[in-house]
Amino acid sequence: MYISDPVGLSSFCERARHHKVLAVDTEFIRERTYYPQLCLVQVGTGEECACIDPILLDDLAPLADLLADDDIIKVFHACTQDLEVIHTTLGIECAPVFDTQVAAAFLGLRQQIGYGALVESYCKVHLPKAESLSDWSRRPLDADELQYAEDDVRYLPHIHERMVEDLARRGRLSWVEPEMALVTDASHYVRDPRKAYTHLKRVNSLTRKQLAVARELCAWREELAAQRDMPRKWVVSDEVVVEACKRLPHSPERLRRIRGAEQLKGRDAQGALAAIERGAKARPETYPKRSHHERPSQEVEGVLDLMYAMLRVVSNKSGIASQVIATKDDLLDFMQGRSEARIRTSGWRYELVGRQLERLLAGETGLTVKEGRVELL
């Protein structure tokens, strides 16, 4: 069903409101803009699929009310970008949400499994990929594009039902719900300009003082890109930002000597230099904390390798992706006894692997190889 008129939209949303679970997906483009441009919203009820055209519809209020309904579970696959474009365009936080990609990692499927592989696993249907690079802003959309778009929500209600049953049977539904809440938290898609530096490529190569400069320079870039609705890299690239944080140029001429900064002229160059100066003058107690761990010693690396081997054993036996259970940084936090270690603060993680890691670190258990496989002693 293709909906491009107000009556059709209101009628469909009224019918959809009677369902407790809705599958949702979006098509958007953002290659030439700062904000993602919503081009299509697909909604599946299990009985019908609708492709809603936000380009031809002036009023999306019925859709916004539907997706903001707290009594309806919205099922997505890999939801972060969809939630961002929905928030940007409709001005709502879409909740509650069930993300099938998150759930899959608790059910023996690989982490970050693609939608096509998920449908093939659960529904034995092979989806074509021919329209994945379509220009969704072009009108009219053809039949193949609409079929492709509908398929993105056609199978999700069934998959959601089976996943919930399987998670409940394994006693893992309560494990998944807090993980789902983390993934769908608005902080993942509503960016604070003052935290934009944390997404900078090669940010770990900067000292804490240089991070203070990066915080100011990235905030300036973020605000300017949003104001002009253009990709942030069109203002200035990550590589230029990192180099400017290291060189601390004091004049437009010195700034433009950084390769890739030639386009910064006039007010833009002055704005970048002012941001660099603010960061350089920051007091040491206000410097950002480094988000990564210092490189551990060889001895600690050896212990971490052993802990990670145990984690892989637990992952294989439980069918939960190892990266979902813990990262190497999580293992280091646990080894160093940090109270905020995720393995300690998350009940299911501690029950699943934390107790065994404590026994490993205490020398009370170990690992061995049997028939070519690593196993617990």
The b-or-e profile of 302-323 (16+ CB within 10 A means b, else e) is ebbebbbebbebbbeebebbbe
Residues 33 and 121 in one domain: yes
Verify cis geometry, omega within 30 degrees of 0, for the bond prior to 231.
Answer: no
Read off the pLDDT band of 337 (50, 70, 90): very high
Given this model, what pLDDT does residue 130 score? Answer: 64
Higher pLDDT, 122 or 181: 122
Closest CA relative to residue 119, chosen from 128, 132, 131, 108 = 128
Instruction: Inform me whether the pLDDT recorded for 294 exceeds 80.
Output: no
| Lowest model confidence (mean pLDDT) among 13-17, 109-113, 361-365 | 109-113
Q: Are residues 198 and 180 in the same domain?
A: no
What pLDDT does residue 156 have?
Answer: 98
Quote the domain boundaries for residue 248.
193-286
Three-state DSSP class for residue 22: strand
Tell which wins on pLDDT, 297 or 19: 19
- For residues 63-76, give the mean pLDDT: 97
Cβ atoms within 10 Å, residue 13 = 22
Residues 183 and 204 placed together within one structural domain of the fold: no
pLDDT at position 364 over 80: yes
The pLDDT of residue 132 is 65
Classify residue 69: in a domain, yes or no. yes
Domain-embedded: residue 23: yes
Cα(153)–Cα(40) distance, integer angstroms: 12
**Could you tell me the pLDDT band of residue 297, with boundaries at 50, 70 and 90?**
confident
- What's the whole-number mean pLDDT along residues 251-258? 96
Same domain, 131 and 174: yes
Q: Retrieve residue 73's tokens.
A: 């579970």
pLDDT of residue 292: 61
40 DSSP β-pair partners: 27
Q: Is the pLDDT assigned to residue 90 strictly greater than 70? A: yes
φ, ψ of residue 275 in degrees (nearest 5): -65, -40
Q: Does residue 292 sit within a domain? A: no
Q: How many CB atoms lie under 10 A from the CB of residue 103? A: 24
State whether 7 and 151 are in the same domain. Answer: yes
End-to-end CA distance of the chain: 58
Q: How far apart are CA 327 and CA 185, in angstroms?
A: 20
- Closest alpha carbon to 274 in 356, 219, 324: 219
Residues 23 and 170 in one domain: yes
Distance CA 349, CA 327 (A): 12
Residues near 227 by beta carbon (within 8 Å), at least 6 away in sequence: none
3-state helix, strand, coil in the chain (%, to 5): 55, 10, 35
293 is a domain residue: no
Q: Is residue 291 part of a domain?
A: no
pLDDT of 277 over the 80 cut: yes
The residues facing 27 across adjacent strands are: 40
Q: At 25, is the secondary structure helix, strand, or coil?
A: strand
Residues 145-184: pLDDT tens digits?
999 999 999 999 999 999 999 999 999 999 999 888 888 8
> Looking at this protein, which amino acid is placed at residue 91?
G
Q: Do 7 and 24 belong to one domain? A: yes
DSSP string, 34-73: SS-EEEEEEEE-SS-EEEE-TTT-S--HHHHHHHT-TTSE
What's the number of domains the chain is made of?
3
Does 78 map to a domain? yes
pLDDT at 186: 83
pLDDT of residue 339: 87
On the question of pLDDT at 87 being above 90, the answer is: yes
CB 173 within 8 A of CB 167: yes
Does 72 share its domain with 126? Answer: yes
Buried b (16+ CB within 10 A) or exposed e, 261-279: beebeeebbebbbebbebb
Ramachandran class of 266: left when φ > 0, alpha when ψ lies in -120 to 50, beta otherwise: left
Q: What is the pLDDT of residues 347-357, one digit of tens each?
A: 999 999 999 99
pTM, entire model:
0.88
Q: Are 116 and 241 in a shared domain?
A: no
Of 189-193, 205-209, 340-344, 360-364, which gets the smallest average pLDDT? 189-193
The pLDDT mean for the chain works out to 94
**71 shares its domain with 57:** yes
Is the confidence at residue 281, as pLDDT, over 80?
Answer: yes
CATH code where residue 346 lies: 1.10.150
Q: Give yes or no for residue 64 having a pLDDT over 80.
A: yes
Domain boundary among 152, 167, 188: 188
Reported confidence tier of residue 111, pLDDT bands at 50, 70, 90 = confident
CATH of residue 246: 1.10.150.80
Q: Is the pLDDT of residue 31 over 70?
A: yes
Last residue of a domain, one of 259, 286, 313: 286
Residues 163 and 302 in one domain: no
Residue (of 39, 35, 33, 31) closest to 60 by Cα position = 39
Sign of CA dihedral 76, 79, 85, 89: positive
CATH number, domain containing residue 38: 3.30.420.10
Residues 181 and 211 in one domain: no
Instruction: Note whether 67 and 9 are within 8 A (CB).
Output: no
* Of 172, 188, 204, the domain-final residue: 188
